[in-house]
Every structure is written in C-alpha cells, then in structure tokens.
Structure 1
C-alpha cells in the first residue's frame, strides 16, 4: 500500500510540473520539437528514483539512486515555486478583477512573460538545490551543558561527542567525513556516541566502504566509540526515500562487519559503565534489524541498574519519554529527525517529534537531539546544518 501511495504522489508531482513546463513553452513556440526534447529529458530524470528502487544492486542502481536524490531535491523546490507562482497570480487576479479572456489576451501579447516565469522557477530551484548541497557538506559544532541532580563517588564529569545519521551511501562526501573526524578529535572527548542511521538502507550503496572504515577508525576518545543502529541500518527497498520493502528489513553482515572494522562498538540493548555513568544502547523501535520483531523494553534494560546513579540512554528516535522517566533515565541521546533537514520539512518536524532538535526536558528526562552529520535522500540542507554535538555532562 505504501508503495502505491508513494508512486501515485510522485507521478502526480511529475505530471503537474511537466504539464506546467509544456504550458509555458507552448506560449513561446507552437512547434512540438522543443517540448518533445524537454519532455524526454524530464522523464529520464523522473525515472532515476524508480531505477534506484527497482534495479538489482550494482553500479547502475547506485548511480541512479545518487543522481535521483539530487533530482528529488530540485523537484521539491521546482514544484513549490510553481505552486507559489499560481497562488500569487490567483490573488493578483482577484484584486485586479481581471477576466480570464483578458488574461489569455495578455499572455498571447506578451509570450515572453511565460518564459520569464519558467526561467525564474528553474533558477530559484537550482539555486536552492546548489546552496543546500554546499551547506550540507559543512560540519558545524554545537555545545550543551547538562547537570544532573544525581551525584556519584566517581569523577562526576563526562564529555560526550554525539553524532548521528551519517547515512553513508552514493552521495557521501569523503572530505566531509574527514572534517567531521577532525572536529571530533579536537574535542578530546571521554566518549563518542553514534545515535543510529550510519547507513541508508543498503550496504551495497556505500561507495567506498574501505575508505570510510579507515576514516571513522581515526576517531579518538578516552573511553571508546559506541553506537546504536537506526531505522535505516537495514537492507530495505527505498522509493523516493520511503521504505516499500515487502518483508521486514534485516541488517546485513556487511553493515556489522563495517562497524567492527571502523572500531565502533554497537550497543544492541546493552549497557556500558563509564566514569560512574550507566549508558544503555537500544535497538531501534521501528526496525530492529534482527530476528526479533521487537526490541527489549526499557524496563528490562534498566531493571538491574542502580537508578540512584546517572542513567544515559542512546535511542535513535526521540520517543518513549514517559517510560524512560518511570525507569529512572536521566539523559537520552538521539538523532533521526535531521531537524527537518530542509525547508519545508523544518516547519513540519516540530509537530511530528516530541523533540525535533536540541536540548529539552520531557517528563523530567533530558533529551538531546542532533540534526545529524549527514543527510537522507536529497543531499541538501536548508535551514539546518550538518553537525557534531558536544555535551559536557556533570553529575
């Protein structure tokens, strides 16, 4: 059902934008050659995400997926520009009391006005896509200070670097990974935490796993690098970014081997003890990636812990705060939301997630959500940044 819905929405978006292209081009030239060339090129671009979804694993599939992601970013803004133009034109028509016949006559008299509208829509869409791509590849650093009421006999301090949502795939930019590792190492952290979605639904889509393993293995911290898996750390079938797998996606051996070679320790419903703090890693609630359809409850994971001591949870999706609070959890480290990644998703995300981004206290539990160090689908960020989060925790 999801597959049909996604295909239908995508087809409607393509038909709408293509019909608008033909409409404005027809005002410029009554010949069919120009429109035929545009139609063929547009359909070829439109087929990129389809091929990325349905072709068998290989170079062609990865190429179509990577270029299809860029195309999707452009398509979103091109469609928005066209809709925005029609809204403006509608209100101008109302306020000027224009008639349809007069409007038609004006367009026939000034056909180049149509070309200008089309040119501006394409220009704005390309500009936003280009800016978003450049912005997405810059790593920023944000810092948080959190003090817990719980006290321990140990050191009482923990410096954490939180990263998430690397989404390693065909659109991964190698220098961005290197810049991220350099910035992490500057922090001289006690521990580095990866809060899920290291991959983007396919290990075969990782363009250069050996190089990426070497880069990530260069991360330095006093107490190690720990991670949880996210909802895209599985082998899934993605159509325009949506999971349309018929079977429950599972994690591949390649993904697990990658983590080992990169020096990253996954915490699959497991706990580590560092500097007097108890750090619990949870499997993802949406896709466990294992034979088990459900992950362990937070109650079972914390049942043997001393809740008088600090309890930290690494949870890919920022959710389940009531249960976390009732089980004595103090701080939850998450990703998943990308802070919306690009407009207009940035506007919608705060209504979807209990914590879309940053530091919040929810049901007495501190929640820190990072926007992620990578990007999902379109490799663009508008209104957000790719980042690492540095957390100075005191207890």
Structure 2
C-alpha cells in the first residue's frame, strides 16, 4: 500500500511546528549549552518523529504493532496542538515584554535583563503545558466515553403515513484502527440495537486499515438488528483502506452498501452515493444513477459521507441528506478550520427544500481527544 501525499504533507508541517515548540519550550527556557538544553533538544527531535511515525507505520506493520506507536504519538499529537495554540496566543505578551525590556534597558544604558526574559519564558511554558494537559485530559475522557445518544425529529415535505414515525439510527466516523477496535464496535452495536431503530445508516469512515488488519474489529457489525436492515456508504478513509475489499466484507456481515444506488422501502426511497474522494479511484459519486428515474411523489433520503454533497442533493430533489465526516470539529478551536470546508459541522440545517443532518461521529481520528464535540449516535425520527 502506497503512502498518500497528505501523510508527507502533515509530516513536514509537524516538523516545522516542532521547531517552534523547541524554540519556546527549550531554547527560551534553558541556558545555552546547558545539559537541560541538550536533553530538551533530543526530546524535541524524538517527539517530532512521533507523529509522522503514527501516520506512516499503519501502512507497513501489523495493527497490533502500530497500536504501540499510535497511542503515545497521538496523545502527543493532541498535546502539541494545544501547546501550539496556547503559545501562539501568548506571543503578544512575550513580544510586548521584550519591547518594554529593551526600552527600559536603553533608557538606563543597560543590557536587557536576560534573567527576567527567561523567567517570563518559563512561566509561559509552564502555564501553557498545564493548560494543554488539562484540556487533553478532558478531551480524552470525552472521546473514549460511550457515544451520546441524540434524538431528532425531521419533518418531510412529502410522503404518506408509512413514513411517519420511521426511526433511522445514524452513525458514522467509527474509525476502527490501531486505537479503536472490536470492543468499540460492540459498544456501538449494543447501543443501536437498544434503540429498536427501523433502519441503520452508517455514513462512512468506518475503518482506518485493511480488511486483513481489521476484519475481526468489524465483525460485531453482523449483530446489528433493525426492521429494514443496515446500509453503508463509503467515506474518504475507506479509499485509503481498500474500499473494494471493505464493500465485500460488509456484504458478508449482512450490511447493504449503497454504491450510487437506491432501494425502495415501504415508506420512502433510500439512496446512497460514494464519497467525493472516490473519484480519484474512478469510484466517485454518481447522483443521477442513484437518484434519477424515481417516483417524484415518494420522499427520498440520501446517505452521503460529506455534508458538502448537499449541493448536489438539492439539485436532485432530495428531501433529507444524512452525513458525517466533520466529527463536529473534534477539537475546538480547530472546528473553525473545518467549518470553512463544509456547510454544516453538526446537527440540522436546511438548504432550500433539502434538509441536512450531520452526526459528530462515534469515534475519532488522530488524537484520542474531543473538545466541544462529544461522540454521538443519532436516532432520526421522521414526521410528515
């Protein structure tokens, strides 16, 4: 399996980020040529290698081995993110203190007070470190806790009495991989079965690894129970993990993949399209194939991994689109970046006659940290 280009891009980005962290946490807080400076520099180099290692090793080693790398490196990933944010926020304080110190020294014809500068740097480093640790600790407790069971009622603009009261268990972004395995899957299956939903919709990003690596972790999905069955659409991570093989594996588990296709249920049409990233492998979304040539009086629900696919859903007269992908932003304030790329981060939104509901997802990607975006499974109940 080849390494995607985005992995190399993130590796370079994190190398540069660690240079900044070294400058603020090591060089700025330790005397030149001291033992503390040397130890801190070595530690910074090791930690800089951690994150690329966690991104690259799953492509080459067994999942059980990569797990030992994934946990420490992704915890550091989360800490590094919040250290960067907090340290950058304190830059105005540091720059103002340096400016005032130079002005005072110049007025007194003295050299700048290096001891005062080092004290400020250490104070900022300790404060940022303590705050980042607290945030990540809280975020880990949230990410590793059972998904929250949300309930929402969506009123369709058309449809008969058979559609009223239909309950769809919506789950996405389960992200089975080095950090989330079989127990995670079983917990989700048990929660969904406990709701007595009429239909289960898995809206992509089920896995971060191949069938060979993760078949056992996905096996509990065979136990999902609902009146109309379980349906699945691909997410972008499936196309990094062998989408074709996973489609076949899910069929073996009794799950119906919707690959640019539609099924007619007693109350409505249920359609599903492939993720937009599938186009790079000649397996992208085909809305006409999934939504064309159908009864216009019948309501249609579309499963599509990314919320941005609602633009095409509107053009094809979809009543309701169910999506995931965003994780609700996963780690505030990084949700601001995600919101630039997607029309909705989480929850309900209306786009003309098309309604959209986005789940925050039941797992996580990268850091085992969720801040301001707890994991969820949503029961979508239809009304007329």
TM-score interval for Structure 1 and Structure 2 normalised by the shorter chain: 0.7 to 0.9
SS at match of 1:26: coil
Distance 1:154 1:8 in 2: 54
Any conservation in 1 of the 2:301–2:319 contact (CA below 8 Å)?
yes
SS at match of 2:238: coil
SS at match of 1:391: strand
Deviates more, 1:301-310 or 1:348-357: 348-357
Partner of 2:69: 64
Distance 1:366 1:302 in 2: 16
Any conservation in 2 of the 1:156–1:275 contact (CA below 8 Å)?
no
SS at match of 2:138: helix
Any conservation in 1 of the 2:29–2:118 contact (CA below 8 Å)?
no
Any conservation in 2 of the 1:62–1:205 contact (CA below 8 Å)?
no
Distance 2:111 2:195 in 1: 63
SS at match of 2:289: helix
Q: What does 1:1-395 align with in structure 2 at a 5 Å threshold? A: 5-27=9-31, 32-55=34-57, 56-58=60-62, 59-91=64-96, 99=103, 101=105, 105-108=112-115, 111-138=118-145, 139-152=147-160, 154=162, 156-172=164-180, 175-200=183-208, 202-203=210-211, 206=214, 209-214=215-220, 216-235=221-240, 250-251=242-243, 253=245, 255-287=246-278, 292-296=282-286, 298-395=287-384
Any conservation in 2 of the 1:202–1:234 contact (CA below 8 Å)?
no
More helix by share: 2
Which structure 2 segments of 5+ residues have no match? none
Distance 2:360 2:47 in 1: 29
Distance 1:204 1:104 in 2: 65
Deviation at 1:333, TM superposition (A): 0.4
Over 3 Å counting, the alpha-carbon distance change for 1:4 and 1:183 in structure 2 is: closer
Any conservation in 2 of the 1:342–1:384 contact (CA below 8 Å)?
yes
Distance 1:273 1:308 in 2: 13
Over 3 Å counting, the alpha-carbon distance change for 1:184 and 1:115 in structure 2 is: same
Distance 1:390 1:17 in 2: 43
Distance 2:126 2:334 in 1: 25
Distance 1:130 1:104 in 2: 42
CA RMSD of aligned residues (A): 2.8
Which structure 1 segments of 5+ residues have no match? 237-249
SS at match of 1:319: helix
SS at match of 2:277: coil
Over 3 Å counting, the alpha-carbon distance change for 1:274 and 1:91 in structure 2 is: farther
TM-score normalized with structure 2 length: 0.87
Distance 2:248 2:45 in 1: 39
Over 3 Å counting, the alpha-carbon distance change for 1:381 and 1:25 in structure 2 is: same
Distance 2:143 2:76 in 1: 16
Structure 1 outlier segments of 4+, above 6 Å: none
Deviation at 1:274, TM superposition (A): 2.3
Any conservation in 1 of the 2:304–2:323 contact (CA below 8 Å)?
yes
Deviates more, 1:220-229 or 1:113-122: 113-122
Deviation at 1:326, TM superposition (A): 3.1
Q: Provide, for residues 128-160 of structure 1, a one-character-per-residue CA deviation record: whole Å limited to 9, x for no partner.
A: 111111111221122111111213264543111
Any conservation in 2 of the 1:337–1:356 contact (CA below 8 Å)?
yes
Any conservation in 2 of the 1:107–1:114 contact (CA below 8 Å)?
no
Deviates more, 1:279-288 or 1:35-44: 35-44
Any conservation in 1 of the 2:270–2:300 contact (CA below 8 Å)?
yes
SS at match of 1:287: helix
